[in-house]
A and B are shown apart, each in its own frame.
Chain A
Amino acid sequence: DGGITQSPKYLFRKEGQNVTLSCEQNLNHDAMYWYRQDPGQGLRLIYYSQIVNDFQKGDIAEGYSVSREKKESFPLTVTSAQKNPTAFYLCASQVGPDGSVANTIYFGEGSWLTVV
Chain B
Amino acid sequence: QKEVEQNSGPLSVPEGAIASLNCTYSDRVSQSFFWYRQYSGKSPELIMSIYSNGDKEDGRFTAQLNKASQYVSLLIRDSQPSDSATYLCAVNDRGSTLGRLYFGRGTQLTVWP
Residues of chain A having any CB pair with chain B under 8 Å: 31, 33, 40-45, 48, 50, 56, 58-59, 90, 92, 94, 96-97, 100, 102-110
Contact = CB atoms under 8 A, between A and B. Distances in A.
A109 B98 contact: no
A33 B99 contact: yes
Nearest to A6: B43
Contacts, number: 60
Interface in B58-113: 88, 90, 92, 94, 97-101, 103-106
A72 to B, nearest CB: 17
Contacts of A58: 100
Contacts of A108: 43
B4 A42 contact: yes
B90 to A, nearest CB: 8
B105 A42 contact: yes
A90 B43 contact: yes
Nearest to B36: A107
29 contacts: A31-B98, A33-B99, A41-B105, A42-B4, A42-B103, A42-B105, A42-B106, A43-B90, A43-B101, A48-B97, A48-B100, A50-B98, A92-B99, A94-B99, A100-B32, A100-B51, A102-B98, A103-B32, A103-B94, A104-B34, A104-B46, A105-B34, A105-B101, A107-B43, A107-B44, A107-B45, A108-B43, A109-B42, A109-B43
A94 B103 contact: no
Given A90-B43, A100-B51, A40 B99 contact: no
Given A103-B49, A110-B42, A48 B99 contact: yes
A35 to B, nearest CB: 8
A40 B105 contact: yes
Nearest to A43: B103
Given A58-B100, A107-B43, A107-B45, 13 more contacts: A31-B99, A41-B105, A44-B103, A45-B100, A48-B99, A48-B100, A56-B97, A92-B99, A94-B98, A94-B99, A96-B98, A100-B51, A103-B98
A15 B28 CA distance: 43
